[in-house]
Amino acid sequence: MSDERRPSFGIPDEEFIRGKIPMTKEEIRVITLSKLQIQQDSVVLDIGAGTGSISIECSLIARLGKVYAVEVVDEGIELIKKNIEKFGVKNITPIHGMAPKSLEGVKIVDRIVVGGSRGNIVEILEWANDHLSKDGIIVANFITIENLFYFIEALKEKKYEYELTQVTIAKSKTIKDITMMQGHNPVFIVKAQR
C-alpha cells in the first residue's frame, strides 16, 4: 500500500515478511508500542528484533528519530533487512549481534524495547544505566518466569519504577459459521522508567 494509505501504527502480522523466526503477535506488539510512548524524534533500541516487526513500527512513529535493531540470528537479520526494504523506511540500523556486547556504536537512546534478551536482561539494564536518556522508557516482553523475575529484581535494585501487565489473548477460528476460541501463550510486558 502507498505511504499515505498506511495506518500510523498497527501493521497486521501478515504484512511482514516472515521466515521461521518467531514474531511478536499483533496484539502484543501494539501494547508494547503503546507503553513505549515513542515520539517523533525518539532514538529507539530494539533488542531481539526478530523479523523486525517492532522496529518497523517504531521507525514509522519515530520518523525524525532512529531505530537500532539488534538480532543475533542470521535469518533474523536478513528478514529485518527485507522488511526495511518492503516498508521503505530509512531510519533503522540493523546490528547483527547480541546486546549489550554488540552495542559499541550506540550512544544515547530514548527507548529500549526487549523482545528477547537471551538471558542477558540484567546486563542490558546495566548498559541502560549509562545509555538511556533521562526520561527514557524500557519495555520488555517475557514468556518465562525466571527472566521476568530477574528483570524486576534488577529494576528494583536500580531504583526504576515499573509496571507489569500480563496479556492473555484468545482468537476465533471460524468453522462452518461456528466461532471457536483458541488460546495463545500469555506474555508478560514490563514497562520501566526512572
Binding interface with a copy of itself (CB under 8 A)? 4-10, 12, 26-27, 30-31, 33-41, 61, 143-149, 152, 156, 162-172, 174, 177-186
Instruction: Name which of 40 and 129 has its Cβ closer to a copy of itself.
Output: 40
Q: Phi/psi class of residue 178: alpha, beta or left (left: φ > 0; alpha: ψ in -120 to 50)?
A: beta
Instruction: Name which of 77 and 114 has its Cβ closer to a copy of itself.
Output: 114
**Least distance from C-beta 167 to a copy of itself, angstroms?**
6
**Least distance from C-beta 13 to a copy of itself, angstroms?**
11
Q: What are phi and psi of 167, to 5 degrees?
A: -115, 120
Whole-number Cα distances in Å, 98 to 86, 102, 113, 120, 124: 25, 5, 14, 9, 10
**Least distance from C-beta 144 to a copy of itself, angstroms?**
5
Instruction: Name which of 42 and 83 has its Cβ closer to a copy of itself.
Output: 42
Instruction: Name which of 72 and 96 has its Cβ closer to a copy of itself.
Output: 72
Q: For residue 38, what is its C-alpha cell?
A: 515513542
**Residue 102 buriedness (CB in 10 A; 0-12 / 13-18 / 19+):** middle
**Least distance from C-beta 50 to a copy of itself, angstroms?**
17
Instruction: Name which of 36 and 77 has its Cβ closer to a copy of itself.
Output: 36
**Least distance from C-beta 104 to a copy of itself, angstroms?**
29
CA angle 97, 102, 108 (to 5 degrees): 130
CB 51 within 8 Å of CB 23: yes
